[in-house]
Amino acid sequence: MADNTSSVPVQKNTDSPQIRDDEKELVNSILQDTEDLGHRLLSMSQYLWISHARISLYTADELVTTTSRLKKISMDFYKAAEEAVEEKRKEEKERDRMRKKKDAERDQTMLTHEFLRLSSSVLARPNLYKNELAMMFTVEDEEEYERVMEAEREMERQRENCRRRRRKKRPPKKPPIVEVEHAADEQETKSQTEQLKEWMDDELEFFAGHRSIWERSNGSKSGRCGGFEDKTTLSPMQFTHCIPGIIPPRAAVTGSTLQIYSFKIVELSDDLKWPLRVYGVVAARDTVDRNRNLLFARSRIRCQVLTENDSSLCLTGPSRAILAVDPVDFEVELKIHDGGDERKDRELIWAINHYDIAYNGEQPSLTFHSPLCRAELRLERLPTTVQATILSVHVVGGGSLFKSGGQVFCSSSSADSSAARREKIVLLDYVETNSAAKNERHLDGYLPLSRNVVSVEFGGGLEVVVKVYGGSGCTCGHVYFPFQYCNISQGTCSVSGSEVEIVVAWSRLVGDKMDMLIEGYTTQA
């Protein structure tokens, strides 16, 4: 009986594991058949050579063509297999790289989130996280901390030794006049010169030690404060934008600050004569970010000429308020412009001084000693302050105000009306009338203040004075700005028939740069 049933083709799922296995077996079978065919062709070639059997030209041509095609197919198959292996190797390598990258990113993200979480928790409830904070410090951090502390103790011992050497080596102000022979005078002069050089070498060595200590502590892995000469990047208007009446950010504080008035060369050794062409750096360093807050900075080509009657540096800072809750370091690096080769320039003063309310009290100045001079930094500690930035002093209409010279200065007042009047802070001092008129025309009436950041006591205010010199005397205009926590104040006054507009920005202080980073603020001035 015949079977009339016909088979119906069924489309199979080519993605199933069974189909893939069938295809693999088919390919293996074809490869084995191809290999057998190759062996038979080789055997046939050997047999024809030995038997000297005759074959037709057509048959020989077909054999050659078939063999050539078989060779080409085999070569193509080999190349395809080799490329597939190489591609797979590259894919494995790329997957391994991406896996390592994702692991590193995940670890970094977890570390950052953990640090921010812990930092916020510590700020909110510090007593509950002492043990967890301690776990964040590794053995390497503890060892590094011990090295830093030992280095600081060594630095303090060096300071004490340096003070002793200063007392021994400091030449008398008025050496006694003794009648001796000419050769003896030359020997005495040479001895004093060598003594001054040794003293200056000690000062330079001491300063280098101070720098080394700073780099090992604050510039180290745990310090993360950058380089020794890096300047502070915190803005004096960091919180000017804050809205009055709204609770300020945790990083915004009001605290004790140092008001800087002047830096003056008060005494020269017999080895120097006025005038002096001075350049270099005078900087303060507080614990907010432990970077340099420049008070004075001039390059060699912009050196300042100091005379016996005017020996004060033209200060350009601070660039923000100097927080005095903790000790503050002052660093002075000043040189004398020789006028010729820079290699002949001499170090005028290379010194460090330390201001600490616990030791310095309310003294109005710090003294810096050098073999060649003595300098004095006039300052004052204000108890609770904000910072004010004089944004502009503008002569409305762009006219020339200082045709015969003039001065812009300010002074801060306290909440206590019976308190003594504070020293003035010079913002601009014009003596050379030609340059004054030229600058005013070039700046469209805006006066180029040399410094513009001051501290203002809580409950007090800031008075800005514009003084103009004339043939019959001087004329003054002043504007008083009451203390504010934030925002911008504006006032006008009339001076010599010209209207002068003054703009001041107010801001709280930054207590610690790390608090700024934790709260997500930028720290670029």
pLDDT tens figures, 241-262 = 998 888 888 889 999 999 999 9
pLDDT tens figures, 51-101 = 666 777 777 777 778 778 878 887 887 888 888 888 888 998 898 889 888
Determine the 3-state secondary structure of 257 from DSSP. Answer: strand
Contact predicate 473/340, CB 8 Å: no
Backbone angles phi, psi at 171, to 5 degrees: -70, 150
pLDDT of residue 137: 47
Name the nearest CA neighbour of 133 among 145, 149, 120, 146. 120
CB hemisphere CA count around 130 (13 angstroms) = 1
Name the nearest CA neighbour of 67 among 95, 44, 90, 100. 44
pLDDT of residue 409: 97
pLDDT of residue 154: 72
Cα angle 285, 288, 293; round to 5:
35
Tell me how far CA of residue 486 lies from CA of 391, 394, 418, 491, 509, in angstroms. 14, 22, 26, 16, 10
- From the CB of residue 281, how many other CB atoms can be counted at a distance below 10 Å? 17
pLDDT of residue 189: 52
Please list the rounded mean pLDDT of every run of 10 residues in the chain (525 residues): 43 53 75 76 69 72 79 81 86 89 78 62 54 50 66 70 61 44 49 80 89 82 77 95 87 95 95 95 96 97 95 97 95 93 92 85 88 96 96 86 89 84 92 59 84 96 94 85 96 93 97 84 67
